[in-house]
A = this chain, B = another copy of it.
Amino acid sequence: MATINDVAKLAGVSPTTAKRAINEPHKLQPQTLEKVQWAIQQLDYEPDLTAGALRRGRNLTVGLLVADIVEPFFAELAREIGVRLRNSNYGLLLADNEYQTEIELHNLRHLAGQRVSALIMRPSYGPGNREYLLKMQDKGTYIIEVDHHMPDSPFDYLMLDHEQCIRMGLEHLWKLGHTRIAGLGTHHPELYPEWRAHHFDRIMREHGHPVLSAYREIIRYNEQDAYEFTRYLLNLQERPTALFAFNGTEAIGAYRAIQEAGLSIPEDISLLAFDNLPWTALVKPGIDVIEQPIQQMGELLVHQVLKNMDGPRTPLHKLLPGKLIVRGSCGGPSGK
């Protein structure tokens, strides 16, 4: 495995010069440059990134900590971030937290140990790892949160404007005449401080249609929980006339429960969901969804990260608007 020293020796120059042929070729005399390039070719030299990482205090990698890589939103985000990092010669160190603080901490330790240049993370709920993250930041790791952000969190963030999206979705339902609307999942200030659920509750209340207490339950963002909760909702005496799924995976669970109950969309019940997943356009009628600008997120994130990981920092606290796509899964409330 050739090192820069071998290259230098073969080219008859010092290692410093040899390295410059790669990093600042314009600072070398043409003939020197050529000699070094020749030697690099000869020896098939490729830099050892681990040595650079040790010396520099950080590796050429960005940590991406998502909640669940199987959730299409995160998979797409990972791709958008990944391709852009690749274009800047950075790698992607991927980890997940399954929305759990302890798993998150384990992964943070690893990422910190690997000296990631920056960290893009979807925080788990609760302030559990705040202290650790602050330590990482003090040591120079640039940290930015995505998708979720604790109200008092000291980090940069970039995420969907959850409030605008919830309001947009509700106005869509209100116009159709719905008032008995259930959100799939309930806000809890500490345990589960989910923004979409939070705004849902608040905006419904402010609009004069507080969410029925029978509709309020804390569930996880997964298909099974959404399925079971929907079944429960459909069996209520005061059955909701519309369901609002707070992410794509929940929508699958809800849809399945509605089908199994033998109910029709939108005649018996309306369904509105976050995330424009491919299947939502395939079923009949198509599902009304709120689409996130994932590409734009990836672009802004990578730009921000590259700009801020060394040198002075420009804070970023940004909310991006979502887009409502109407396909027919929401109609007027049923007579029941």
A interface residues, Cβ below 8 angstroms from B: 1, 44, 46-51, 53-54, 59-61, 68-70, 72, 75-76, 78-79, 82-83, 86, 89, 91-96, 103, 106-107, 109-115, 135, 139, 223, 252, 255-256, 259, 277-279, 281-284
> Could you tell me the distance in whole angstroms from the C-beta of A82 to the nearest C-beta in chain B?
6
Bound-state CA distance A252–B280 (Å) is 11
Minimum CB–CB distance for A37 against chain B, Å: 17
Instruction: Looking at the assembled complex, report how far the CB atom of A19 sits from the nearest CB atom of chain B, in whole angstroms.
Output: 14
Whether B61 lies near A70 (C-beta < 8 A) is: no
Q: Are the C-beta atoms of B86 and A79 separated by less than 8 Å?
A: no
A46 to B109, CA, bound (A): 8
Contact B86 A106 (CB under 8 A): yes
Alpha-carbon separation in the docked complex, A107 to B125 (Å) = 33
| List of B residues within 8 angstroms of A82 by Cβ | 69, 94-96
Which B residues lie within 8 Å of A83 (CB)?
96
Dominant secondary structure at the A interface: helix
What are the residues of chain B within 8 A of A72 when measuring CB–CB? 70, 72, 75
Contacts of A135 in B (CB 8 A): 44
- The residue in chain B whose Cβ has the minimal distance to the Cβ of A277 is B279
A44-B135, A86-B103, A283-B283 known; 9 new pairs, CB 8 Å cut-off, are A47-B113, A48-B54, A49-B110, A50-B53, A51-B54, A59-B114, A60-B114, A70-B75, A282-B283
Whether B279 contacts A256 by the Cβ 8 Å rule is: no
Q: Are B282 and A259 in contact (CB under 8 A)?
A: yes
Would you call A92 and B89 a contact (CB within 8 A)? no
**Residue contact A46 to B78, C-beta cutoff 8 Å:** no
A51 to B50, CA, bound (A): 7
Question: Are the CB atoms of A113 and B252 closer together than 8 Å?
Answer: no
Chain B residues lying within 8 Å of A59, measured Cβ to Cβ, are 50, 114
The answer to whether A91 touches B111 (Cβ under 8 A) is yes
**A1 and B115 form a contact (CB under 8 A):** no
* Chain B residue at minimal CB-CB distance from A252: B278
Minimal beta-carbon separation of A163 from chain B (angstroms): 28
A111 and B48 alpha carbons, distance in the complex (Å)? 10
Residue of B nearest to A50 (CB): B53
A93 and B95 in contact, given A113-B48, A279-B252 (Cβ under 8 angstroms): no
Contact B78 A69 (CB under 8 A): yes
Q: Which of A1, A47, A51, A94 has the most CB of B within 10 A?
A: A94
Chain B residues positioned under 8 Å from A92 (CB to CB): 93-95
A50 to B91, CA, bound (A): 15
Within the assembled complex, what's the spacing in Å between the Cα atoms of A69 and B259? 30
Interface pair B50/A1, CB less than 8 Å apart: no
Q: In the complex the two chains form, what is the Cα distance from A53 to B55 in whole Å?
A: 12
Give the residues in chain B near A95, CB-CB below 8 Å.
82, 86, 91-92
Residue of B nearest to A44 (CB): B135
